[in-house]
Each structure stands twice: as structure tokens, then as C-alpha cells.
Amino acid sequence: MATKRGKRSGTKTKSTVKPKPKATAKPPVKSGGASSPAPGRRVASPAVAPARRAAPLPLLERGKALRDAIQLSKLTAPDPWSYTGRARTWLGRVERLLDRISAGVETAEMRKAIETLAAEVEGDRDFQEARRRA
């Protein structure tokens, strides 16, 4: 025996309807034309941004980055047999400099030593090729 069921409408009853979020007031938009940033995107003020970009890395970070680059280049060098000796020498120099820097001795002489070593390493043709391959 079949039983009758009540008609169901396609609308939801009040108890099953979820309340919609209320619209909030938006801040006024500055007229900046095409140069204004996309909504929700944070942009540093032009007066502050160049100073942040121009700031050099701390000496310890520069030394660690150089050490890591040399170690990676040993793995990707085009001719590892001739390159490994030079890389080992550079790593020894970097490690000695890092030991002195981490001991709290950060002088202009140390900065110059790191920059000189970085110029020597980055000027090496095999190092450049190894970096390109990485």
C-alpha cells in the first residue's frame, strides 16, 4: 500500500537557511589610475624601498652564501678533477673567515677579505660554468 507524502517545494525553510554575511564598508579608493597596486597587495613606499634593496648582506650571511655556492659548484663542475683543488682552497679560506666573523670580529678588513675572495671565486671560468649547470 502506497502512502502519500506531502508536496516538497524547492525552497528552503527558514530553519535551514544560513544567514548571509553583512556587507562591510570599504575604505575610500584613491584615484591613482593604472599605477595603483592591485587590491590586497602591499607595496612599500618609494622612499623606503630603495634603502632596503641597497643594504648589503651582513658579513656572516655573505660568507655562508659564498661557502654554499662553492660547495654546490664542486658537484656541478665541468671538469671536477682540476676544479676540486681550487674549490678546496677557497673553502678553507672561507671557513677561516667565517670562524673569525662568528667569534665577533667583524672589521673592514674582514669585509674586504670576503669581497676579495668572492671576486676571485666568481671570476673563475669553471665556477661560472658550474653555477650555470646548477
| Per-residue model confidence as pLDDT tens digits over 16-33 | 666 666 666 665 555 555
Amino acid 57: pLDDT: 80
* Helix/strand/coil for 77: coil
Name the amino acid, one letter, at 120: E
Amino acid 13: pLDDT: 59
Residue positions counted in the chain: 134
pLDDT < 50 regions, the chain? 45-51
Amino acid 91: pLDDT: 97
Question: Nearest to residue 90, comparing CAs of 120, 60, 59, 62?
Answer: 120
Name the amino acid, one letter, at 39: P
Phi, psi (rounded to 5 degrees) for 41: -100, 130
Amino acid 43: pLDDT: 52
Burial class (CB in 10 A: 0-12, 13-18, 19+), 73: buried
